[in-house]
Amino acid sequence: MSKITIQCRLVASEATRQYLWHLMADIYTPFVNEMLRQIREDDNFEQWRQAGKIPAGVFENYRKALKTESRFQGMPGRWYYAGREEVKRIYKSWLALRRRLRNQLSGQNRWLEVLQSDETLMAVSGLDLPALRAESTKLMDLLSSQIAKPAKDSKKTNRKKGKKQAKQTQGKSLYQALWDLYQETEDILQKCAIAYLLKNKSQVPDKPEDLEKFQHRRRKAEIRTERINEQLTKSRLPKGRDLTDEQWLEALAIATEQIPKDETEAAIWQSRLLTDADSLPFPVAYETNEDLKWFLNGKGRLCVSFNGLSEHTFEIYCDQRQLHWFQRFLEDQQIKKDNKGERSSSLFTLRSGRILWKPHSEASKSTPWTANHLTLQCSVDTRLWTAEGTEQVRQEKATSIAKIVAGTKAKGNLNQKQQDFITKREKTLELLQNPFPRPSQPLYRGNPSIIAAVSFGLEKPATLAIVDIVTSKAITYRSIRQLLGQNYSLFTKHRLKQQQRAHQRHQNQKESAENRISEGGLGEHVDSLIAKAILETATEYGASSVVLPELGNIREIIHAEIQAKAERKIPGLKEKQDEYAAKFRASVHRWSYGRLAQKITTKASLQGLETESIRQPLQGTSQEKARNLAIAAYESRTVVQRA
């Protein structure tokens, strides 16, 4: 991805900040909350939830209806659309999370079905172990030959069923081919042979199965399934932001006046009471880059105003490292203005922006527009910083628009609306021929056969492997100590402070004291140093891309591994198991893998490296996981290209 997000503080008079707070907290946030409520109470909501998608027209209909209500009057017109998009984003994320959990649960159930002991497989198949191994070897050789065989050779297969199976196997890994065949076949003997191969990583082992290790492995899968199922069951509907603590007071009244039916309901009440309500309004997004107007005030300071709030101006206060981006926004706007519309805003470096409030580090009990900072976040395309990158984007946009125009014209018998659509797009194509003047900087070109991959782990947050895909061997590895070098002491210092903060939070919980303990900026600084070292090493070896682990279920995998380890280490003693697991879990959950991944992605984008995400292997050392991550990323590309 070439897009990154930068931010700055918006400084304005107290009257302006008070006015913005009033709009965002008293009108805009209730508007979003009400739309969230009405959609979840819609008669068709259960149908949408099962389908995993809410029709786009639903959001627009509710926007139009709510806009007419008196309590939501007074906002800039753009904000009603921003509220609609915020609600759409929230429900899209919520539905995507449920879909991901359902897919994970389905996958785990399939895996539990396959993950049977050798004794069970022998009993079901009616074969002894040598015969089961022989059947598995025969099946593996057959599939391996079909995978390696060119597509044209599959026509020589005599049987129709064999021809179809050989064709479907093309372009797949042996592991995936085994899974597909397992789903298709109804032959019990073949199913047992496939299950035997799948649980042994597509190989036929020479040694007999260690029953204790198998039970540990199966228990890990069961724990993972139980947690996913619990998450899916307890998934709460989006309810918006409670700026008045009304929902918390309602939960308190229920907890004090009623008796819970069971432990589950008691846990739900406790969770609502212990969850801190979000005290800040929803952000307001400006998806069109021309909704932001940039200028210099009388003091020569860079300022911005917004569509619908033109009477209010805001000064830009940002880090020196990001100032050049905001100056570029002003330059792009001025160039377009000076050329009287002969250039397209689709090549503006700024892509979109959004206004939001952030807590002040020294927040007191004063007014909320004083206790919180007004912040502007801007999305920028890093390729548009240079002439070479701008040309790349220009060609992409021109190709895309030309394809749309050609497709629309091919329909024939166009109405006036379609004609206007084509005219507008053709005008954009014409404007794209005049790119903005940008500094020249050659694009980074890595070696396609060299891939950098980063694995995440318990004790080692990041391990880097530079892999030559041609030989499938790692050129070099970098541990967290090697990546940080002289700065490794900052890593150990951060870990120590994490432990101290965790202990302090635990003490505060026991004493019912304030439990919000900020970690400061050390963790973010360490992540920046790690990301910088990873990218320097990747470019040094000419890597073409950086592969990162998918973060969707990394904590669930680690939790299941820890819990199963605790059960094996301390069998039968539930309290001791929980105590043992808690020590490991605390250290895992204190490291922000998401923040580290974002740092790596941002820095890679600035240097012109592509990033991609692949599911991290569960087995092996941190170095082996990083190496296998790179190989898996390359294989996934190959499968897509074949398809």
Q: Residue 546's beta-bridge partner residues?
A: 452, 611
The answer to whether the Cα torsion of 506, 511, 512, 515 is positive or negative is: negative
Write down the pLDDT at residue 584: 63
Confidence tier at 207 by pLDDT (50, 70, 90): confident
C-alpha neighbours within 13 Å on the C-beta side of residue 209: 23
Q: What is the largest CA-CA distance in the chain?
A: 89
- Residue that wins the pLDDT comparison between 356 and 148: 356
CB 143 within 8 A of CB 177: yes
Question: Looking at residue 292, what is its pLDDT?
Answer: 95
CA 627 to each of CA 176, 394, 484: distance values in angstroms, whole numbers, following the listed order: 20, 36, 20
Tell me which of 246 and 298 has the higher pLDDT.
298
To the nearest whole number, what is the mean pLDDT of the chain?
Answer: 85
Which DSSP symbol is given to 444? P
**How large is the average pLDDT for residues 230-241?**
83
- Containing 473, the helix (H) or strand (E) segment is strand 473-478
Across 213-217, 220-224, 240-244, 585-589, least confident range:
585-589
pLDDT of residue 477: 96
Under the banding of pLDDT at 50, 70 and 90, the label for residue 163 is very low
Domain boundary assignment for the chain: 129-208, 447-642
Q: According to the model, what pLDDT value does residue 444 have?
A: 87
pLDDT above 90 as % of the chain: 51
- Eight-state DSSP code of residue 485: G
| pLDDT of 514 over the 60 cut | no
Residues 6+ apart with CB under 8 A from 548: 453, 454, 597, 600, 601, 611, 612, 613, 614
- Per-residue confidence at 159, pLDDT binned at 50, 70, 90? very low
Q: Is the pLDDT of residue 526 over 70?
A: yes
Please choose, from the candidates 350, 400, 394, 406, the residue with its C-alpha nearest in 3D space to the C-alpha of residue 376: 350
Instruction: State how far the Cα of 100 lies from the Cα of 103, in Å rounded to an integer.
Output: 5
- List the alpha helices (DSSP H) in 411-514: 416-431, 480-484, 488-510
Q: What's the pLDDT at 165?
A: 45
**More confident call, 620 vs 432:** 432
pLDDT at position 72: 94
Alpha-carbon span 242 to 198, nearest angstrom: 49
Evaluate whether 320 touches 339 at the Cβ level (below 8 Å).
Answer: no
**Greater pLDDT, 201 or 537:** 537
- Does residue 496 surpass a pLDDT of 50? yes
What per-residue confidence (pLDDT) applies to 104?
A: 87
CA distances from 356 to 8, 17, 25, 96, 318 (A): 11, 12, 11, 24, 15
Task: Give 354's contacts (C-beta < 8 A, 6+ positions apart).
Answer: 283, 284, 285, 286, 376, 377
The number of residues in the chain equals 643
Q: Is the distance from CB of 27 to CB of 80 less than 8 angstroms?
A: no
Span of 98-112, 493-507, 510-524 with lowest mean pLDDT: 510-524
pLDDT range class, residue 587, cuts 50, 70, 90: low
Q: What is the pLDDT of residue 617?
A: 76
Is the pLDDT at 330 greater than 90, yes or no? Answer: yes
- Per-residue pLDDT averaged across 612-631, rounded? 85
Nearest CA-CA partner of 314 in 353, 256, 368, 263: 353
Question: Tell me, what's the pLDDT at 638?
Answer: 60
Distance, CA of 546 to chain centre: 16
In angstroms, what CA-CA distances link 527 with 52, 377, 488, 508, 597? Answer: 35, 21, 12, 28, 9
For residue 248, is pLDDT > 80? Answer: no
Residue recorded with tokens 């008196």: 70
Distance CA 535, CA 524 (A): 17
> Residue by residue, what is the 3-state secondary structure of 278-333?
CCCCCCEEECCHHHEEEEECCCCCEEEEECCCCCCCEEEECCCCCHHHHHHHHHHH
Instruction: Tell me how far apart the alpha carbons of residues 249 and 273 are, in angstroms, rounded to a whole number.
Output: 9
Q: Which amino acid is at 544?
A: S
Judged on CB neighbours under 10 Å (0-12, 13-18, 19+), 586 is middle
- Starting at the edge strand found earlier in the chain, the sheet holding 610-614 runs 473-478, 463-468, 447-455, 543-549, 610-614
pLDDT digits (tens, 9 = 90+) for 261-274: 877 777 777 766 76
Q: Tell me: pLDDT of 414 over 80.
A: yes
| Residues 120-146: tens digit of each pLDDT | 999 999 999 999 999 999 998 888 887
In this predicted structure, the answer to whether residue 276 has a pLDDT above a threshold of 50 is yes
Q: Residue 156's pLDDT is what?
A: 44
Taking 50 as the threshold, does the pLDDT of residue 161 lie above it?
no
Least confident of 84-93, 290-299, 411-420: 411-420
Integer Rg of the chain from CA: 29
pLDDT in tens, 60-78: 999 999 999 999 999 999 9
Q: Is the pLDDT of residue 154 over 50?
A: no
Which H/E stretch holds residue 611?
A: strand 610-614
Q: What is d(CA 191, CA 124) in angstroms, rounded to the nearest whole number?
A: 10
Residue 361: per-residue pLDDT: 62
Q: What is the pTM of this model?
A: 0.76
pLDDT value, residue 570: 79
What pLDDT does 237 receive? 87
Output the CA–CA distances (angstroms, integers) from residue 414 to 404, 407, 408, 424, 429, in the order listed: 14, 12, 8, 15, 20
In the predicted model, is pLDDT for residue 230 greater than 80? yes
162 pLDDT higher than 80: no
Residue 274: per-residue pLDDT: 67
Whether residue 348 has pLDDT greater than 90: yes
Does residue 458 or residue 28 have the better pLDDT? 28
Residue 8 has pLDDT above 90, yes or no: yes
pLDDT at 586: 59
pLDDT score recorded for residue 95: 93
Coil, strand or helix at 543: strand
318-334 average pLDDT score: 93
Q: Which of 170, 218, 104 is nearest to 556 (CA)?
A: 104
Is residue 454 pLDDT above 50, yes or no? Answer: yes
**CA separation for the pair 308, 23 (Å, rounded):** 12
